[in-house]
Structure 1
Amino acid sequence: MVRTTHRYFKFDWITIILFLILVGFGWLNILSASHTGETLDYLDFTEPYGKQLMFILLTFGLIVIILSIDSKFYERFSSIIYIISMLSLVGLFLFGKNVNGATSWYAIGGMTFQPSEFAKAATALAVAKYLSDMNTDINKFKNQIQIFIIIALPAILVLLQNDAGSTIVYAAFFFVLYREGLPKLYLILGIGLVILGLLSLKFGTLITSITAAVLIFANHFITKKKPPLLQPILVLLVSIVLSSGIKFFYQHVLQPHQQDRISLWLRLEKDPVKLDKMQKTFAYNLNESEKAISSGGFSGKGFLEGTRTTGKFVPEQHTDYIFSTVGEEWGFVGSAFVVILFALLLIRILHLAELQKTQFSRVYGYSVAAIIFMHFMINIGMVMGLIPTIGIPLPLFSYGGSGLWGFTVLLFIFIKLDSNRINEW
C-alpha cells in the first residue's frame, strides 16, 4: 500500500529542480533590472519583480493541476486543445489588445493574457498526436502536407498579429519531424533557403543567381551519377524565383522597423545619414546590452550593483534583454551558469524523450526541447548581436506571466507523460 501511495509522487526531479533554479535565478535578475536603487519592497505588486513573484506563486498551483490530471487526457484531448488554442488566436483579431505594435493580447481586467504562449504547447500536442496515430508514415507526401498545416496554422495566425518573433519559433518543429524520419531533403532545403535569403538581401538577385548557377552546375558535373540536365536547370529557376520573392517579401511585406533591423544587421543601408539614424534608433538597445554584459567582466559587479542595470540604460531589460543583467551583475561566471543550466535542461529532456515507451510522449518531449532551444538560441543571439533584434523572451527567465505559464504548461505536461514510465511496475 505504501508503494501505491508513493508512486503518484514519482516524477523526474532533476528536470523539476532545473526548472526551479532557472525560475528563481530569473526572478533575481528581474528584481535587479526593475528596481530603482531605492529600498526594496518585495511584495510591491506594482513593480515588475512583485508581479513576477505573484506569477511564480500562481505557477505552483498550475503545476499541481497539470500533474494531477491523468496523462491519457493530454493525448486523448490533444486535438480539442489544439482547436481551442487556434480559436483563441483567431479571437485576437476581434478582441485583441495592441501592445508594442502586436495585437497578441487579451485584456482581462487589469491584466493581459497572451494566447500565443500556450499555442506552442497545443501545437506540440497536436503534432505528437498526429504522428502517433496509427504510426503515421511521415515519408508519405500527403502526411507531410497535413503535418505542415498543423504547424503552419498557428505560425500564420501569430504572424498576422505582427509577432514575427513568436512565428519563427515554429520552425523548431522541423527538428522534431527530422527525428521522426522526415527526409533529409527538407533540412537541406531549409538551410539552403536561409542561405539564399541572406545572399539575396546582401548582394541582390543577380549576384545570388550567378552564384547559385555556378554551384548547381558544378555539383551536377562533379557528381558521378549525373541526373538529367533538366534537373539542375529547374533548381536554378526555382532559386531565381525564390530570390526575387525574398526581396519582394522584404521590401513590401515586412514592416519598416523589421526591415531596418535586418538592414542594420546585414549592413544593407548605404546612406550614412539614414544609417546613423537607424543605429541610434534600433542599435541603441543592442549597444547598451553589449556594454552591460562586457562591463561585468569575469565575476560581475554583484547582485543589485550593476550601474548600467540600475541606471536603466537598457530598455526593456527585465523582458527580452534580461540576459544583459546576468552579464553585468554576475559576469562571465553567471552567464556561463545560465547557459549550462539551459544546456542541462535540454539534454535531460532529450534523454527522457528517448526513454519514452510511446511515440506520442517521445514526439512531445522532442517538441518541448526544440521550442525551448529555439527561444534560448534566438534570445541569447539577439542580446549578443549575433542575430537581428527579435522580440522573444528567454524561457522561464524573462518577465511575463503568460510566458512563464506557457513554458510551465509545455514542460510539466511532458513531466506528467514521463511519470508513466517512472511509475511502471
Structure 2
Amino acid sequence: MAVEQKISKHRIAPRSSNRSSNKILQNLDWVTVLLYVVLLTLGWMNIYAAVYSPDNVVNIFSMDINSGKQLLWISASVVLIIVLMVVDYKIYEHLAYPIYGAIILLLLFTLAVASPIAGSRSWLDLGGGVRLQPAELAKFATALAVSKYLSSINLRHQKLKDQAILLVLTFLPPAIIVLQNETGSALVFGAFILAYFREGMSPLILIIGGSAAAIFILTLLVPKLYLIIGVAVLMALAVWLDYRLMRRLKLMIALFGVVVAMIFSVDYFVNDILQPHQQNRIKALINPEADPLGFGWNVTQSKIAIGSGGLIGKGFLEGTQTKFDFVPEQSTDFIFCTIGEEHGWVGSTILIGLFMLLLYRIVSLAERQKSVFGRTYGYCVASIIFFHFLVNVGMTIGLAPVVGIPLPFFSYGGSSLWSFTILLFILLAIDANRTQELVR
C-alpha cells in the first residue's frame, strides 16, 4: 500500500501542474499578446531599416548592427516571459516592497559606480559590450510598490500621511535618476498620477499641474505683461460668472500672486537652474527655426524625414533622411521618423492605431480585475506606456521637448524592452489568474 500511495502521489503532481499551465494558457489575453508580437516585429524591422545602408548591405541578423543585437534581447525577452508566466502570480503582490527596495539599492549602486556615458551615470557595464540601465527597471518596481500600497488603504478616507507615503514611493526613484543626470527617464514617473485618479485622487492635482505647465510655456512665448493682464482678466471673468467666488476673494488674490511669481521665476529657472543642453531642448521646442543648424537640428531633420514620406511613404529600406544620418539616434529616440519616411501617413496612422488598441486592451484588463492591486497595476502599466508613446511621437514632430524617451517595443535597447515586457506580462499573469482572486 505504501508503494502504491507513493506512485499515486508521483502521478498526481504532474497532472496538477499541467492543469495549472493549461488554465493560464486558456485565460491568457491572446489579443494583447498578439499586439505585443506585432509591435515587437515591426520595431525590429524598422531598427534594421534605420541602420540599413545601400552601399554596405548587412544581413538583418548580423550582430554587427543594432537589429541583430536587438534580436538577442527579443530572444531573452521570450525566456523572461516564460518565467513571468510560470511563477506564482501572487508573488508580484507579496514581494512588491522587497522588489522596490532592491531596485532602489541598484539605482544607488549605479549612481556610485557607473562610468559617465554622454554625461549620464545611469548604465551598468555587464561586460562583453552589454549594458543595463536600472532606471528602466525602476518603472515596473514602482508600479508594483504603489499598487501594493494603494490596495492596503481606504482610498475614500486618505490622510495626509497616506498621501505623503504614496508621494515618496512614486518620486524616490526619479529623484535618484535625476542625480544620475537622466532627466528624461525621471519624467516618466509623473505618469503614475494618471493611474491614481482611477483610485480616487482629486483631479485638482492634474488641473494645477497642467495650469503650471501652461503658464511655463506661455511665459516663454508671450511678453510677461500681456500674460499677467490675461490671467487677471480670466480670474475677473470667473468671479463675474460665479459670484460665490467673491466670498473667497482673498484666496483669489493670493492665487493671482502665486501665478505672477511663477511668471517672473521662469527666466531664472531656465537660465540659472537648467543645464545648457536642457535649455537648448526648451528653445528647440519653442522655436527650432531660431538655430536650425544647432539646437534645432534634431527636431528640424525629424520633421523633414516624416514630411518627406507623404501619404504612403518611400518604401521599406528606401528612406534617405535616416540612411544618411540626417536624423540623429534614428534607431532609438527617433525611430518614429523611419515609420513616417518609409511608410508615410498611412503607416504612421496604423502604428498609432496599434498603440491605441494596446492601451485600450490594457485598460480593459485593468477594469476586469477583482483586486485593487491588479486594477491599479494595470492602470500604472497603461499610464507608463501612454506617456512614453505620447512624448516620443510628440518630440519627433516638435510637440514635445527632446528628452530621450524610447518608443515602447520599437526603439533599440535591451533595458527598455525588458522593462516594457515585464510591465505588460506581469499584468497578463495577474489577469490570467483573476478568477482565483477574491473581490476586495
Instruction: Give the structure-2-normalised TM-score.
Output: 0.90
Amino acid at match of 1:103: R
Larger radius of gyration: 2
| Cα drift, residue 130 of structure 1 | 0.7
379-388 vs 202-211, which moves further: 202-211
Q: Give the equivalent residue in structure 1 for 2:114.
A: 96
Partner deviation per Cα, 1:171-220 (whole Å, 9 max, x = no partner): 21111111111112112111111112112333355544443333223323
Q: Give the equivalent residue in structure 2 for 1:320.
A: 333
- Whether 1:6 and 2:22 are equivalent positions in the alignment is yes
Distance in 2 between residues matched to 1:422 and 1:408, nearest whole Å: 23
Q: Give the equivalent residue in structure 2 for 1:175.
A: 194
Q: Give the equivalent residue in structure 1 for 2:79.
A: 61
38-47 vs 166-175, which moves further: 38-47
Amino acid at match of 2:284: L
Distance in 1 between residues matched to 2:218 and 2:262, nearest whole Å: 12
Distance in 2 between residues matched to 1:241 and 1:147, nearest whole Å: 29
- Whether 1:160 and 2:200 are equivalent positions in the alignment is no
Could you list the runs of 5+ residues in structure 1 that have no partner in the other structure?
269-274
Q: Give the equivalent residue in structure 1 for 2:133.
A: 114
Instruction: Give the structure-1-normalised TM-score.
Output: 0.93
User: What value does the CA root-mean-square deviation take over the aligned residues?
Assistant: 2.1
Amino acid at match of 1:168: L
- Whether 1:24 and 2:37 are equivalent positions in the alignment is no
- Whether 1:368 and 2:381 are equivalent positions in the alignment is yes
- Asked whether the equivalents of residues 131 and 138 of structure 1 are also in contact (C-alpha less than 8 Å), the reply is no
Q: Give the equivalent residue in structure 1 for 2:9.
A: none
Q: Give the equivalent residue in structure 2 for 1:234.
A: 254
| Cα drift, residue 385 of structure 1 | 1.2
- Asked whether the equivalents of residues 104 and 173 of structure 2 are also in contact (C-alpha less than 8 Å), the reply is yes
Amino acid at match of 1:252: D
**Between Structure 1 and Structure 2, how many residues are aligned?**
418
Amino acid at match of 1:414: L
Partner deviation per Cα, 1:248-274 (whole Å, 9 max, x = no partner): 222212111111221232239xxxxxx
| Cα drift, residue 58 of structure 1 | 0.8
Q: Give the equivalent residue in structure 1 for 2:4.
A: none
Distance in 2 between residues matched to 1:201 and 1:285, nearest whole Å: 20
Q: What is the identity percentage for the equivalent residue pairs of Structure 1 and Structure 2?
A: 41
133-142 vs 319-328, which moves further: 133-142
Q: Give the equivalent residue in structure 2 for 1:214.
A: 233
| Cα drift, residue 137 of structure 1 | 4.1
| Cα drift, residue 229 of structure 1 | 1.9
194-203 vs 321-330, which moves further: 194-203
Distance in 1 between residues matched to 2:386 and 2:259, nearest whole Å: 30
Q: Which secondary structure does the structure 2 equivalent of 1:107 belong to?
A: strand
Structure 1 residues 6, 423: closer, same or farther in 2, change over 3 A? farther
| Cα drift, residue 313 of structure 1 | 2.0
- Whether 1:224 and 2:256 are equivalent positions in the alignment is no
Amino acid at match of 2:25: F
Aligned match for 1:246, one of 266, 269, 278: 266
Distance in 1 between residues matched to 2:248 and 2:114, nearest whole Å: 53
Q: Give the equivalent residue in structure 2 for 1:282.
A: 295
206-215 vs 23-32, which moves further: 206-215
Distance in 2 between residues matched to 1:160 and 1:329, nearest whole Å: 38
Distance in 2 between residues matched to 1:75 and 1:45, nearest whole Å: 38
Distance in 2 between residues matched to 1:138 and 1:396, nearest whole Å: 39
Q: Give the equivalent residue in structure 2 for 1:81.
A: 99
- Asked whether the equivalents of residues 271 and 279 of structure 2 are also in contact (C-alpha less than 8 Å), the reply is yes
Distance in 1 between residues matched to 2:217 and 2:158, nearest whole Å: 29
Structure 1 residues 220, 414: closer, same or farther in 2, change over 3 A? same
Q: Which secondary structure does the structure 1 equivalent of 2:131 belong to?
A: strand
Structure 1 residues 423, 21: closer, same or farther in 2, change over 3 A? farther
Q: Which secondary structure does the structure 1 equivalent of 2:318 belong to?
A: coil
- Asked whether the equivalents of residues 121 and 409 of structure 1 are also in contact (C-alpha less than 8 Å), the reply is yes
Aligned match for 2:32, one of 1, 15, 21: 15
Structure 1 residues 423, 32: closer, same or farther in 2, change over 3 A? farther
Structure 1 residues 409, 4: closer, same or farther in 2, change over 3 A? closer
Amino acid at match of 1:238: V
Could you list the runs of 5+ residues in structure 2 that have no partner in the other structure?
1-14
